[in-house]
Amino acid sequence: MTKNSKIRVRFAPSPTGLFHVGSARTTLFNYLFAKHNKGDFILRIEDTDKQRSKKEFEKDILEGIKWLGLKWDELYYQSKRTKIYEKYLKELLDSGKAYKKEIIWFRNPNKKVVFNDIIRGNVEVDSSVLGDFSIAKDLKTPLYNFAAVIDDFEMKISHVIRGEDHITNTSKQILIYEALGWNPPQFAHLPLILGPDRSKLSKRHGAVSLTDYCKQGYLPEAMRNFMALLGWNPGDEREIFSLKELEKEFSLEKIQKGGAIFNIEKLNWFNSQYIRKMPIKDLTKLCLKYLPEKIDYKQKDLEKIIVLEKERITKLFEMGDATRFFFKDLKYDQNLLKWKDADKIEIKASLDKSYSILCDIKERDFRADKLKAVLMSAAKEFNNNDRGKLLWPLRVALSGRDKSPGPFEIAEILGKKKTLERIKKAIELIK
């Protein structure tokens, strides 16, 4: 690559499995590097393995990249480029640098392969330990290392950014470049993503496809932000980055050599931050599919429900359980109504008091601020030392839970009729 050449990078997945976190991070780093340098991000589907390549996997990859908000500049399919591979296979065969013995083999010159890795510095591999290696099944069926070299050359790829598990492949590919008389691109090998136990990330660590993270209610903004910091560091204490900020800040020189730990708790933290920052109309729209099917609330009340619970959840799917008491009949143990050492008579007296107070409040005044002012005053009067004596049974009667938003906010959303009905049921429960 000459000094003034345009930056061109590629992500080249094989559609033989689902789009997982490791591949997604590689995609993101390629994209950010391209955009930071005003270059091109190319997507190349390596689908020459006809038996293992599946359309459903291709769809999963494409949808995963789109979900992350990343846009490719060019899209290629290796299966449509067989004539190009055939041309160069013949060239190697004619020159004696490759030979056919059922399949086509590259004749290893048995030399030291040395290249400068942008992340790892000088890398040296003795190619003699590799032996001759296969590059195609036949003239129309190239194998990975050969097809990758031809495509990277033809597509004018300037930088190959991929996982460190490709270092052996890199040495083979450099040999192929040299055999064809070409200069190889620059290489950058990313650190592996590790589980908390520092072993390679796998399903036992909770590693699933990006589609699964989407279904669980992770936001693409949070996933992007989290993955960007898996091996890359901006050089300061900042953690929250928009896509535009990442494009501005990203550089290969700030990628660490050591493995990056996949911490699901950190991902959950990122997701909770983005959930809280999201405009309530947009968040409500995303949460609708996780709420119970029978919804008889107006849009403004749905938004109030989401506002109440958005501080408590880390994933959108949790919104369904967190808000269930607004939509479903309550089922809970009567002992949950008990505040400290209160007996049934005291609990009933507390609920009777709340019922009486709320009966006297007009429907138009059934707002959280008004309810709070009235009930807090009544709670002090009911028991000067412990307001929970009045407010705890009321909150449980309205939510059926020991952990929920305050009774004032719940009552406003439920409305006067539903609120009184639930208090009545709680009184019946302890009789």
354 lies in a domain?
yes
> 319 and 360 in one domain?
no
pLDDT in tens, 335-367: 999 999 899 999 999 999 999 999 999 999 999
What pLDDT is recorded for position 205?
64
What pLDDT is recorded for position 294?
61
> 396 and 314 in one domain?
no
Amino acid identity at 291: L
CATH number at residue 284: 1.10.1160.10
207 lies in a domain?
yes
293 lies in a domain?
yes
Pick from 230, 218, 269, 172: which is nearest to 23 by CA? 230
Domain-terminating residue out of 298, 324, 350: 324
The answer, yes or no, to whether residue 304 has pLDDT greater than 90, is yes
- Confidence bin at 207 (pLDDT 50/70/90): low
What pLDDT is recorded for position 199?
81
What pLDDT is recorded for position 2?
44
Please state the rounded mean pLDDT for residues 11-24: 94
Q: Which residues touch 203 (CB under 8 Å, ≥6 apart)?
A: none
- The two tokens of residue 195 are 């589980």
11 lies in a domain?
no
> 319 and 423 in one domain?
no
> 354 and 334 in one domain?
yes
What pLDDT is recorded for position 196?
83
DSSP at 382? H
Q: Give how many domains the chain has, as a whole number.
A: 2
> 282 and 345 in one domain?
no
196 lies in a domain?
no
What pLDDT is recorded for position 7?
97
103 lies in a domain?
no
Would the CA dihedral through 230, 245, 277, 323 be positive or negative? negative
Beta carbons of 342 and 430 less than 8 angstroms apart? no
Please state the rounded mean pLDDT for residues 158-186: 97
How would you label 198-234 residue by residue, b for 16+ Cβ within 10 Å and e otherwise?
eeebeeebebebbbebbeebbbbbbbbbbbbbbbbeb
The answer, yes or no, to whether residue 201 has pLDDT greater than 90, is no
The answer, yes or no, to whether residue 1 has pLDDT greater than 50, is no
What pLDDT is recorded for position 206?
63
Residue 302 lies in domain: 203-324
SS3 call for 115: strand
Please state the rounded mean pLDDT for residues 33-47: 98
pLDDT in tens, 368-395: 999 999 999 999 999 878 999 999 999 9
> 278 and 362 in one domain?
no
pLDDT in tens, 210-256: 999 999 999 999 999 999 999 999 989 999 999 999 999 999 999 99
Torsion of CA 72, 77, 83, 87, to 10 degrees: 60
This prediction's pTM? 0.91
> 398 and 346 in one domain?
yes
SS3 call for 320: helix
Q: Among residues of the chain, what percentage have pLDDT more than 90?
A: 90
Q: Which residues touch 137 (CB under 8 Å, ≥6 apart)?
A: 103, 104, 143
157 lies in a domain?
no
